[in-house]
Structure 1
């Protein structure tokens, strides 16, 4: 059982404590309305004694969280990659990512947690490239935009702490408005979250990513997605290579591999269960796929990532 104490900081609730990587749902402190919580890294550290960084342990969250580092340095793992976040940079961990905290005691800065449903539908569409699973975890705003972003997140923190100053509906509307302002400014300040190697992201590629996120479990061939999008295989392949330097098939395989790793880490599923979930014809085919991309058999990967008991 993970030891936790909750005073004024955000709450994480483990929904699968027996899994190698638990799933954390969002539960703000009592009295805080709706799916948005704003604090600071230093308060979060002070309010949680030995969790979740002592010892570091991977987890998945059903919500987004966003940290601006203003002092010190923050190390944070996102989908098995360790990122170093320095003053002026933002860390954005998307809902569903496998993440792992390192001791944040040297870092300071605002810490925003929010459920996807907090965003209005029109705002969510504008932010889709930045909330996508493959968007970068660390964002470095242009120096001209950084002060505006800092002021906006400071206003959001101040309004969040002002519970009771205004009617509850007004208070929540202001928090949501400030959150959307912050995210839209961050999206603009950070530029294209997935810049192209030779041009810009095309509408075809963005629609491909949307379709892939919905159908990667059952659709595995490039022509499946070309047919779904109403374009030729050549058009889709060219759009993918222009945007990423990789072929569409590579991107499909990477998404399936990422989900396999997440399932092994989060749920402790067996290889046959993961293979069936991802649409492989049999466990042997899945094993070859997984070994080809990771260098490890599924059983060896699970043994390496599960905690020692």
Structure 2
């Protein structure tokens, strides 16, 4: 929705095709010069493979590949590149922190800023002594030790720690043994001792819970969830589990694989990076978060202004010239192309 909003605010017209390249091709041929980019779902490559759809010497009114190859991902994955450079892969979140120009892919991102800022900020001294557990399924607590990063006993034990002032753990998850069934290592899948389970809740109640919690606890999955960004915008810090690291240099964040691999670059009071299966670190991070509550935080790349700027760059870049340069380099390496610019 952030992309649609940005395009609307920039004055661009958006046409939606419903899994039908014949319809897309028909509209494209009506006004080819006005169509700047065609963005498809990550795995849809029908037009690219269809000589009646893609522009070539025998099909001069087809869609140029440099317009139709943009593929949309949530995760910053590289394995769906179909023939042009990685910049034709658009993604919503990042693994790396730094200059956008160094990104291998085309980061567009999204913004939760407006929705979050509409929600009242709850002063920390008015919040109950409670932590929110980031899990929608009990199965996440029953995976192998690589994916279930904290022992199930941690929550009940931590609630008894004197330094946590009687903190309770809350969550909203389903108890469904079929979810991630092939990954489950210990059965039966059951509710977690020490975590008050609200069951299935709606988005408004979820926002209320995040806004009134002292900390959001990651449990290893899901990766790159938007929820920690929402929490930070509410002034609720995030405990980010580190699932693996370099044992020779455990502080080298570039070697970390964490639940949220972008937020691993942030520090307290916003993000507390905690090694998997390290109970003392787990308790210490929660204690620090209670003692040093953060203000609201919106990551600068995730403001609607910056999303709009990146959408404008996507639409206005000279992709034809970039594709030409890429093709010329590949032709020198022996690559052959059946499609034309």
Query: Which TM-score tier does this pair reach, normalised by the shorter chain?
Result: under 0.3
Length-normalised TM-score, structure 1:
0.26
- Larger relative contact order (Cα-Cα within 8 Å, sequence gap ≥ 6): 2
Higher helix share: 1
Length-normalised TM-score, structure 2:
0.24
